[in-house]
Structure 1
Amino acid sequence: MTVRPAADLPRRPEGPQPVGPPSAPRPRETRMRALDGLRLVAALMVAAYHYGGRGGEITKAWGSSAQQQFPTLHTYFSYGCLGVQVFFVISGFVICMSGWGRPLKSFFASRASRLLPAYWFAVLLVTAVFALPVVAYEALSPSDVLVNLTMLQQPLGVDRVLGVCWTLWAEVRFYVLFALCVVMPGASRRRVIMFCAGWTLAAAITQAAHQPLLDVVFMPEYAPFFIGGVGLYLVHRDRRDVYAWGIVAVSFLIGQHYAVRSLWNASDPNAFAHRTTLGIVLVVAFGFLAVAAIALGRLSWANWRWLTVAGALTYPFYLVHEHLGWVVVHELHVRLGVPAAGTFALTIAGMLLLAWLMNRYVEKPLTPRLRSALARRL
């Protein structure tokens, strides 16, 4: 992801100051490869949850419950769903970084070209695989598949081709809010702080108001993670910024509350796995602390080139791993008799290989062309 942050005004001592020329732009930042690595860690967390930390369709794929396949690990795998919250914190950081100093048309072109090529391919690929007679999963109707290509199937109430695409709908709403409130008027420290404070308050009011429209717009359950990531980018720009640290702290406190409320299921005797409140809070804290360590430069030593490749594979891997993973698990474990541990490892490896092929033959040729075409038309 290309990063072009612009400079905010430097801090000045109190008292009258002479008016001088505007400060020079900050130098272009180098790629944070540790952030790429954290993306892949979050994606693998979600994959572990989908393959061994839940019930539902994965039971059909294994031929029995994942709890039987992984008697000890299934409880730990059940925490993998929190990889989504880690993704949201990363997204808040990256979107603030990439949108700072960028005009609206460039921001829109960058986001659309980043999301759509791999997404379109994944929708068509999963649809084609599920339509095969040998695959024991029901494919969607052609009409529903076409709606899925718009990425608006969630609000339109259409069945999803990709199980993970609900997170993309949350991402898109965040992009729109950030574009309207920060990118369009021009990013500055003060404007970003007001955006974070305003969204936090709006999300709290939304929770109290019980209005579906406000829920859709302000996403109280996910807002703290996006906002926390934005606050961590402000920390990255100035680690002494008390307001930025306050945004991060409040976001963590609210975010862990929503995570515990939605994922703690101790009262359900039929739950697949019982997560503890402490475990949930610790995973949420891991997401915030990991991005904070990157923001503060504590992980700058993790500068290996292969992490850039890992970051490039994360998005296509995330798109295809769930549903196509079911197919691979069934073929390896049920049809060929590969042990559960081997099936798990081979499925992960196979999805990573498919992600590499998508990045090489779909994203690399199409993303720059789509970005250029959208920026030119706008």
Structure 2
Amino acid sequence: MIDAPAAAEIPVHPAPLRQNRLRALDGLRLVAALMVAAYHYGGRDGEVADAWGSSPSLQFPTLHGWFAYGCLGVQVFFVISGFVICISGWGRTLTSFFASRAARLLPAYWAAVVLVTVVFALPVVAYRAVSPSDALVNLTMLQQPLGADRVLGVCWTLWAEIRFYALFALCVVLPGATRRRIILFCAAWTLAAALAQAAREPLLDLVLMPEYAPFFVGGVGLYLVHRDRRDAYAWGVVAVSWLLGQHHAVARLWHAPDVDAFSYRGSLGIILVVTCGFAAVAVIALGWLRWADRRWLTVAGALTYPFYLVHEHLGWVVIEALHQGLGLPSAATALLTVAAMLLLARLFNRYVEEWATPLLRRALSSRPR
């Protein structure tokens, strides 16, 4: 039996929940970004081995196995994104939602694409730059589906974010966000993603993202928990998302122990990291970290996105200069590289985002006369 709609479900655009900024969530963002940086600098082979002059497993003989789990910082990001996008989309029109997302992502992204392209084109830099045509395509954020070379290695995650934004905008923001509609969205996407996995249809995989959907949906469910911790449906969304999320993470990232492999991620380790990611957002959603409400966490949150964009490829350049050029030890090189990327992120935030973000938001929100 279906209950009659509650009064709170009737408005098309009900008022969003008024709340103070969740600064602990900003801190968790930076933790997730540092996890990914640890993976890129010491948790895998590839171009970063050229920067070090040898495999990171030789540079960090004890830590490289732990650093390999850092790639799961992306899944933590997706949980946070589900939480934050629910805040951003609740009570907003489609135009306002699009303007807020575009203004948040594009200025730092454009600056990062230009900077990395220019640096990689310098004769003293040993890494291959993408073609001018592909570099221009990268400015659209659509290089992934078009098959163009990526300027930023991490931009594949932005492609997943964009598809999540589109689904949320069409299914929730456009008709108007309500608790019931959001729960229906979570349930429908979860089921559709499972069916897409079974169908093995590339188009369905592209749209529904079966391996990442549980993390976005879990974050949305945790925002509903934040609004009402007694909401059994929201807790159900979170529980199912965690169960599916750990399954997809293990299926994607686990491999059998192999002496020739760079590192070994055990299934229990993967499950633990995924569980900690969900639990950390849950603790914040429940308000148990209000005691950690510090202003510097807002600064940390502001640095996270530009740091995430620039740390990988420009980090290779800094690592090579410090380790092979100046002969600094591996640990000192890694720490100084992270510090340099955080400083660069601060410059991005100060001289790109702080003026370009509000400017772009106003331009996209204004109505033509």
TM-score bracket for this pair, using the shorter chain length: over 0.9
8 A contact 2:17–2:227 mirrored in 1: no
SS in 2 for 1:301: helix
Deviation at 1:95, TM superposition (A): 0.1
Deviation at 1:270, TM superposition (A): 2.8
2:333 matched residue in structure 1 = 343
1:171 matched residue in structure 2 = 161
Matched to 1:282, the amino acid is: L
The structure 2 residue matched to 1:64, chosen from 48, 54, 61, is 54
SS in 2 for 1:139: coil
Deviation at 1:28, TM superposition (A): 2.3
Cα 1:275/1:26, change in 2 over 3 Å:
closer
Deviation at 1:261, TM superposition (A): 0.6
1:41 matched residue in structure 2 = 31
* Residue 288 (structure 2) pairs with residue 295 (structure 1): no
8 A contact 2:16–2:91 mirrored in 1: no
2:96 matched residue in structure 1 = 106
Matches within 5 A, 1:280-359: 280-359=270-349
Task: Give, in whole Å, the separation in 2 of the partners of 1:271 and 1:183.
Answer: 45
Deviation at 1:97, TM superposition (A): 1.1
Deviation at 1:267, TM superposition (A): 5.1
The structure 1 residue matched to 2:150, chosen from 157, 160, 177, is 160
1:261 matched residue in structure 2 = 251
Deviation at 1:10, TM superposition (A): 5.5
Superposed CA RMSD:
1.8
8 A contact 2:16–2:90 mirrored in 1: no
Matches within 5 A, 1:79-228: 79-228=69-218
Cα 1:26/1:84, change in 2 over 3 Å:
closer
Deviation at 1:111, TM superposition (A): 0.1
2:18 matched residue in structure 1 = 28
2:3 matched residue in structure 1 = none
8 A contact 1:265–1:271 mirrored in 2: no
2:350 matched residue in structure 1 = 360
Task: Give, in whole Å, the separation in 2 of the partners of 1:185 and 1:110.
Answer: 18
Deviation at 1:302, TM superposition (A): 1.1
Deviation at 1:266, TM superposition (A): 1.6
Cα 1:26/1:212, change in 2 over 3 Å:
closer
Task: Give, in whole Å, the separation in 2 of the partners of 1:90 and 1:266.
Answer: 30
Task: Give, in whole Å, the separation in 1 of the partners of 2:355 and 2:8.
Answer: 40
Task: Give, in whole Å, the separation in 1 of the partners of 2:121 and 2:354.
Answer: 28
Matched to 1:324, the amino acid is: L
SS in 2 for 1:239: coil
Task: Give, in whole Å, the separation in 1 of the partners of 2:288 and 2:206.
Answer: 36
Deviation at 1:300, TM superposition (A): 1.1
Task: Give, in whole Å, the separation in 2 of the partners of 1:337 and 1:269.
Answer: 30
The structure 1 residue matched to 2:40, chosen from 33, 38, 50, is 50
Matched to 2:310, the amino acid is: V
Task: Give, in whole Å, the separation in 1 of the partners of 2:241 and 2:257.
Answer: 27
Give the number of aligned pairs: 363
Q: TM-score, normalised on structure 2?
A: 0.96
Question: In percent, how many aligned pairs have the same letter?
Answer: 74
Mark the runs of 5 or more structure 2 residues left unpaired by the alignment.
Answer: 1-5
Matched to 1:66, the amino acid is: P
Matched to 1:302, the amino acid is: A
Matched to 1:112, the amino acid is: A
Mark the runs of 5 or more structure 1 residues left unpaired by the alignment.
Answer: 1-7, 12-18
Cα 1:267/1:340, change in 2 over 3 Å:
closer
8 A contact 2:257–2:264 mirrored in 1: no
Deviation at 1:121, TM superposition (A): 0.4
1:4 matched residue in structure 2 = none
Deviation at 1:265, TM superposition (A): 1.4
* Residue 67 (structure 2) pairs with residue 77 (structure 1): yes
Deviation at 1:26, TM superposition (A): 6.1
2:230 matched residue in structure 1 = 240
Matched to 1:177, the amino acid is: L
Which digits, 9 at most, give the CA deviation of each residue in 1:271-329, with x for residues without a partner? 21001101000000011000000000011111110000000000000000000000000
Task: Give, in whole Å, the separation in 1 of the partners of 2:145 and 2:294.
Answer: 40
Deviation at 1:25, TM superposition (A): 4.5
The structure 1 residue matched to 2:363, chosen from 369, 373, 376, is 373
Matched to 2:230, the amino acid is: R
Task: Give, in whole Å, the separation in 2 of the partners of 1:113 and 1:10.
Answer: 30
Matched to 1:204, the amino acid is: A
Task: Give, in whole Å, the separation in 2 of the partners of 1:224 and 1:319.
Answer: 24
Which digits, 9 at most, give the CA deviation of each residue in 1:113-158, with x for residues without a partner? 0000000000000000000111000101100000000000000000
Deviation at 1:9, TM superposition (A): 4.8
Task: Give, in whole Å, the separation in 1 of the partners of 2:205 and 2:115.
Answer: 32
